[in-house]
A and B are shown apart, each in its own frame.
Chain A
């Protein structure tokens, strides 16, 4: 990416959130949240419903402006950028509720997500060349949708839509992937495959995964951050957070 490091002492690599607060009509969805994700790191984020996990992703991707706090990626201030600019900086997102374009085929969905010039004229003149086609086909194989390439994505099952969305994320070739509840509605087998896929992606890029399914989080084998009422309650290995009495009280114990 062409992100320029800023010499102001903030974290200049990876994702850096400090003191982030978001208030909706007096309700604090994020409360002084701080989080650092290193380049190449895989991070799981867990927490009870309403903990602010999705809101955190909204803040990073420019959907919601924080009332206070620093949000940086690769040293760039994300609070001043719009959604498209943030996406072009290399931050891709999979939504909690899978949103693929139902009126387009699986192939066309991936083609739309493929990293390429994004202006109207560039899109008008776009010709699908061999290299791009190969990338799309490779991704389709990775997400197991090769057979469905020319089916409208509206006809896919819930799990397949989740996979298609992950595929769209990969097509963008992002530096940071924000993945909100990827395995909701998936079979155990699909869940396993998803964990493998995400582990494989991390390393060259940062991946933040929000998930409720603890088996899945264990399979990721990554550092875990527990959110509660808009801030970090605990952070560490899965065994560390599972044994943290505060986590047990608000989340695991119920």
Chain B
């Protein structure tokens, strides 16, 4: 076992300890606050999103500025399930319809809400819907050989368009309020510490699984084809590879992973609204990956944790500064840290005797 694996294992072990330390009495020196557990739980979901983006961008060169949309769609799918589970406990006490529907005068559930009372269905949709959307957008774009900045603009427009659509009340997704006031998931009350710990562990297990799966994928010949496409796509075509299919495959897979991240995120934060589609979210995700080091999976995870730690700290000491800092990172990282934190760490490691 090499040092790299040891560090990763240690990292996972420390994360896994947090919910347990949270159970300790508050005056215990090792006690971890609810706040910390819940915020780390969120970052774990962000790290999964970062892995998804890194697979598409870092490995295959598809710079998506719309991955937040896939994340949000995954979140909305689970959100719909959580809304259905509220049942008659809503303010209006309607046995089937969520509050916002009663308020808007719906008499029955729209057809596209059917099936969401089953967890399995909703969970599958959290993966399928983002995958399908990525499949359609990717097919149209890659087939027309739209790459680089044009593709980025299209994906950014996609998330913006979805945000505007989800803001509309007549879409049937709760308009600008989105979904909230969730009660339970899989029979577990969401406000209990116990459930929060389970969600935390589910997210952590997903992060580990996605990390290992992405690692395995990048070590196959397919992974090498992706790198080759990233560096010289037309050359890969002349070798007889239909690069459209290869890019589509990774883009869909990446969108599904982003959907998974969103599905894990929403039960933990207890709310999903159209703001999740805002273009800034997708750009933030790109900054995580760039800052950590694109094209390395460790870098993506590291980036998600470190940039979000910075964000949490900054928003508490100087809330107005965050957007400026984000903008600076967006510009400065490619110039000063082209290989991200990981590149810096590796370089340090090499120069040392």
Assembly CA distance A83 to B236 (angstroms): 9
A84 located at the interface, meaning its Cβ lies under 8 Å from any Cβ of chain B in the complex: yes
A196 located at the interface, meaning its Cβ lies under 8 Å from any Cβ of chain B in the complex: no
Assembly CA distance A168 to B242 (angstroms): 17
Contacts of A82 in B (CB 8 A): 237, 242
A251 located at the interface, meaning its Cβ lies under 8 Å from any Cβ of chain B in the complex: no
B240 near A118 (CB under 8 angstroms)? yes
A161 located at the interface, meaning its Cβ lies under 8 Å from any Cβ of chain B in the complex: no
A119 located at the interface, meaning its Cβ lies under 8 Å from any Cβ of chain B in the complex: yes
Can you offer 28 A-B residue contacts whose CB atoms are under 8 A?
A: A61-B238, A63-B234, A63-B238, A83-B237, A83-B238, A84-B237, A84-B242, A87-B237, A99-B232, A101-B224, A102-B231, A103-B228, A103-B230, A103-B231, A104-B227, A108-B224, A112-B224, A112-B228, A118-B241, A118-B242, A120-B225, A120-B245, A120-B249, A123-B225, A124-B217, A124-B221, A125-B220, A126-B221
Assembly CA distance A92 to B237 (angstroms): 11
B58 to chain A, nearest CB (A): 11
B232 near A87 (CB under 8 angstroms)? no
A120 near B224 (CB under 8 angstroms)? no
A31 located at the interface, meaning its Cβ lies under 8 Å from any Cβ of chain B in the complex: no
A88 located at the interface, meaning its Cβ lies under 8 Å from any Cβ of chain B in the complex: yes
B246 located at the interface, meaning its Cβ lies under 8 Å from any Cβ of chain A in the complex: yes
B343 to chain A, nearest CB (A): 14
A123 near B239 (CB under 8 angstroms)? no
Assembly CA distance A168 to B221 (angstroms): 15
Contacts of A125 in B (CB 8 A): 220
A101 near B231 (CB under 8 angstroms)? yes
B243 located at the interface, meaning its Cβ lies under 8 Å from any Cβ of chain A in the complex: yes
Interface of chain B, main secondary structure: helix
Assembly CA distance A223 to B221 (angstroms): 40
B68 to chain A, nearest CB (A): 25
Contacts of A61 in B (CB 8 A): 238
Pick from A84, A92, A101: contact of B228, CB under 8 Å: A101
A172 located at the interface, meaning its Cβ lies under 8 Å from any Cβ of chain B in the complex: yes
Using a Cβ cutoff of 8 Å, how many contacts connect chains A and B?
75
Contacts of A95 in B (CB 8 A): 235, 238
A113 located at the interface, meaning its Cβ lies under 8 Å from any Cβ of chain B in the complex: yes
What sequence of 0s and 1s flags, for each residue 22-42 of chain B, a beta carbon within 8 Å of any chain A beta carbon? 000000000000000000000
What sequence of 0s and 1s flags, for each residue 71-90 of chain A, a beta carbon within 8 Å of any chain B beta carbon? 00000000000111001100
User: How many chain A residues touch the partner (CB < 8 A)?
Assistant: 28
Question: Interface residues, chain B, CB within 8 Å of chain A?
Answer: 217, 220-222, 224-225, 227-228, 230-232, 234-243, 245-246, 249-250
Assembly CA distance A209 to B231 (angstroms): 26
* A88-B240, A118-B241, A118-B242 known; A83-B220 Cβ under 8 A: no
Contacts of B236 in A (CB 8 A): 112
A93 located at the interface, meaning its Cβ lies under 8 Å from any Cβ of chain B in the complex: yes
B50 to chain A, nearest CB (A): 21
Assembly CA distance A112 to B230 (angstroms): 14
Assembly CA distance A119 to B246 (angstroms): 7
B297 to chain A, nearest CB (A): 15
Assembly CA distance A93 to B237 (angstroms): 11
Pick from A84, A113, A126: contact of B222, CB under 8 Å: A126
A192 located at the interface, meaning its Cβ lies under 8 Å from any Cβ of chain B in the complex: no
A112 near B245 (CB under 8 angstroms)? no
A101 near B237 (CB under 8 angstroms)? no
A123 near B240 (CB under 8 angstroms)? no
A111 located at the interface, meaning its Cβ lies under 8 Å from any Cβ of chain B in the complex: yes
Pick from A87, A101, A111, A126: contact of B238, CB under 8 Å: A87
A123 near B222 (CB under 8 angstroms)? yes
Assembly CA distance A99 to B231 (angstroms): 10
B334 to chain A, nearest CB (A): 18
Given contact pairs A84-B241, A118-B241, enumerate 5 new A-B contacts (beta carbons under 8 Å): A83-B238, A103-B231, A112-B239, A123-B222, A172-B239
* A84-B241, A84-B243, A172-B240 known; A101-B227 Cβ under 8 A: yes
Contacts of B230 in A (CB 8 A): 103
Assembly CA distance A149 to B246 (angstroms): 26
Residue from the set A83, A103, A172 with the largest chain B CB neighbour count within 10 Å? A83
Assembly CA distance A82 to B239 (angstroms): 12
